[in-house]
Amino acid sequence: MLRDMYRIRGINIKAMASSSQASLSKRGSTESMTSVPTPQFASEKESSPQFRPSEASPSPSPAPLPWPQGISSHVESGVTLGSGEYFMDVYIGSPPRHFMLIMDTGSDLIWTQCNPCKNCYEQEGPLFTPNSSSSYRLVTCSEPQCKLVYNANPDEECTEQKPHSCKYSYWYGDKSNTTGELALETMTFNLPNGHHYTLNGLVIGCGYSNYGLFRGAAGLLGLGKGPLSFPSQLHNRFGRKFSYCLVSRNSDLNVSSMLTFGEDERLTKHPHMQYTGFVNHTSAATFYYLSIAKVSVGGVDMLIPASAWTIGANGQGGTIIDSGTTLTYFVKEAYEQIVMAFESQIMYPKIQTSLLDHCFNVSGQTEVQLPTFSISFADGAVLSPPLENYFIEVETEPPILCLALLEAPAGSPSILGNYLQQNIHLLYDVGSHRLGFAHVACNAL
């Protein structure tokens, strides 16, 4: 939860800041990526021992193939590695090597820890070694991609005649950060038909000094709306949409589902698919804002003022969906009403814990009865998460269940975190400015 709180403070600052190098996210300019070349796909010609996207080896091909309809990556819960994040499998470099990156819809940069590392945290598996990849190329300070990050050495002169490497520094709301060099590199992905494709020329960060709560992961893959995020670098490929389904948080690393870029008919043709529109917030270009109309507890609508859900003139407030925040947070006006409703409807003894504020002892209950919870969006869609998405078992002897909803710090937006998103198939249809969702068993996909 400590990381959540730091992260939320950072989200608040970024939401209030204009898109400039002064913002906490250190993204630099948020200008369009039109000056940055679109990455190109090429068929993977040769398998390697480090490359394990699927059981079958890819078929050699003498020439690049057309763009596929979609690419995908496995997603797992990081709880067994002590993380509240979700990890995705990626294959970086030539030959492709396997790494686990945190998937984060609340940031933009793609980066991984690199050798030789001056200050790296402990990760699962070896670090990426740029010298071992034939496709790795440094971005120079004079190239357009370098204008999209905060310069880690602003006093170092850069000229087209004598350009040096693009040194970046990227900070997160929880004070975690990565510093290193920007590069162009390949990433290899699965195709629905079992083949593998390599995306060349992706802008990534090669981090030589990395600090923070990234426990277990090799780095992070930004899925936000900013120009350096993975979806933005793909431009209009795959219809400007991606989807994911988060397995139950307590699942082992061998239990996974898929993060898919492009059309996923299992979702778009789901009989109970619903859509709600994204809210445009120009001064916080990274985040996916949603418009909440009301919330209900036990079927009773909460009397929450509309101002609790709107974005203020100063950029504060509103609601975002964020895969990089663990729990769900509501602004004070909403949170107080929600908690009051839960406590008035729950008959089990309340108990104090050091972890969460609203916990209940459910000893001796063969079937625990707790209120339903739903979020209604302004355009009519209703998200009704299962009980296990908003209550968390913190003790088994005696069994203690805690409400997995917290109050957001003053000025920050409400945040729908990854715990609330478990076993809900989510579609980020960026091209159509909407979020789709349907309830499924994610480990069955």
Summarize pLDDT for 139-181 with one digit per residue, the tens.
999 999 999 999 888 888 887 777 899 999 999 877 889 999 9
Share of the chain above pLDDT 90, in %: 63
- What pTM was computed for the model? 0.86
Query: What is the Cα–Cα distance from 274 to 85, expressed in whole angstroms?
Result: 25
Checking if the pLDDT of 30 tops 60, the result is: no
Locate the DSSP E strands across 143-287.
Answer: 150-151, 167-171, 177-190, 196-211, 219-222, 241-245, 257-262, 274-279
Kindly report, residue by residue over 56-99, the tens digit of the pLDDT. Answer: 333 333 334 455 678 889 999 999 888 999 999 999 999 999 99
Domain final position from 212, 229, 263: 263
Contacts of 166 (CB under 8 A, 6+ apart): 138, 139, 140, 141, 143, 145, 146, 149, 151, 181, 182
- Could you tell me the pLDDT band of residue 109, with boundaries at 50, 70 and 90? very high
Is 301 designated active site?
Answer: no
Domain final position from 219, 243, 263: 263
Query: What is the Cα–Cα distance from 44 to 194, expressed in whole angstroms?
Result: 12
Q: What is the DSSP string of 126-164?
A: PPB-GGG-TT-EEPBTTSGGGGGSEES-TTS---SSS--
Residue 23, domain member (yes or no): no
Q: What is the DSSP string of 353-387?
A: -SS-SSEEE-TT-SS-----EEEEETTS-EE---G
Residues 256 and 272 in one domain: no
Question: Could you give the number of structural domains in the chain?
Answer: 2
- Could you tell me the pLDDT band of residue 21, with boundaries at 50, 70 and 90? very low
Q: What is the mean pLDDT of residues 315-319?
A: 90
Are the C-beta atoms of 288 and 363 separated by less than 8 Å? no
- Could you tell me the pLDDT band of residue 19, with boundaries at 50, 70 and 90? very low
DSSP strand pairing (110-113 vs 274-279): unpaired
Residues 119 and 256 in one domain: yes
Q: What is the mean pLDDT of residues 115-123?
A: 93
Cis (ω within 30 of 0) for the bond into 95?
yes
Residue 5, domain member (yes or no): no
4-8, 73-77, 377-381, 411-415: range with lowest mean pLDDT: 4-8
Residues 250 and 334 in one domain: no
Residue 69, domain member (yes or no): yes
Q: Which of 104, 108, 174, 264 is catalytic?
A: 104
Q: What is the pLDDT of residue 210?
A: 96
Q: Whole domain around residue 420: which residue ranges?
A: 268-444
Q: What is the mean pLDDT of residues 385-409?
A: 94
Q: Considering the chain, what is the average pLDDT of its residues? A: 85
Residues 36 and 175 in one domain: yes
Checking if the pLDDT of 358 tops 50, the result is: yes
pLDDT top residue among 40 and 254: 254
Rounded to a whole number of angstroms, the CA Rg of the chain reads 22
Residues 84 and 189 in one domain: yes
Is 322 designated active site?
Answer: yes
Share of the chain above pLDDT 70, in %: 84
- Which residue has 């908690």 as its token pair? 339
- Sheet of 391-396: strand order equals 350-351, 359-361, 399-403, 391-396
Checking if the pLDDT of 334 tops 50, the result is: yes
Count of CA atoms in the C-beta half-sphere (13 A) of 178: 27
Q: What is the mean pLDDT of residues 226-242?
A: 91
Domain final position from 263, 297, 324: 263
Checking if the pLDDT of 362 tops 80, the result is: yes
Residue 16, domain member (yes or no): no
Residue 22, domain member (yes or no): no
Cis (ω within 30 of 0) for the bond into 398?
yes
Query: What is the Cα–Cα distance from 359 to 353, expressed in whole angstroms?
Result: 7
Residues 57 and 185 in one domain: yes
Residues 279 and 177 in one domain: no
pLDDT top residue among 46 and 9: 9
Are the C-beta atoms of 296 and 116 separated by less than 8 Å? no
Residues 259 and 124 in one domain: yes
Query: What is the Cα–Cα distance from 83 to 367, expressed in whole angstroms?
Result: 30
Q: What CATH number is associated with residue 358?
A: 2.40.70.10
Query: What is the Cα–Cα distance from 130 to 206, expressed in whole angstroms?
Result: 8
Q: Which of 4, 89, 174, 322 is catalytic?
A: 322
Q: What is the mean pLDDT of residues 325-334?
A: 96
Residue 2, domain member (yes or no): no
How far is the CA of 113 from the CAs of 110, 125, 221, in angstroms?
11, 11, 12
Checking if the pLDDT of 300 tops 50, the result is: yes
**DSSP alpha helices (H): ranges in 304-366?**
332-345
Q: What is the pLDDT of residue 427?
A: 96
Are the C-beta atoms of 188 and 42 separated by less than 8 Å? no
Residues 425 and 314 in one domain: yes
Are the C-beta atoms of 198 and 185 separated by less than 8 Å? no
Contacts of 324 (CB under 8 A, 6+ apart): 7, 85, 102, 103, 104, 105, 106, 107, 418
Q: What is the pLDDT of residue 39?
A: 64
Residue 380, domain member (yes or no): yes
Q: What is the mean pLDDT of residues 226-254?
A: 91
Are the C-beta atoms of 29 and 148 separated by less than 8 Å? yes
Q: What is the pLDDT of residue 168?
A: 96
Residues 208 and 245 in one domain: yes
- Pull the structure tokens for residue 313: 């003139």
Residues 173 and 281 in one domain: no
Residue 79, domain member (yes or no): yes
- Could you tell me the pLDDT band of residue 10, with boundaries at 50, 70 and 90? low
Residues 62 and 188 in one domain: yes
Query: What is the Cα–Cα distance from 95 to 46, expressed in whole angstroms?
Result: 9
Q: What is the pLDDT of residue 114?
A: 98
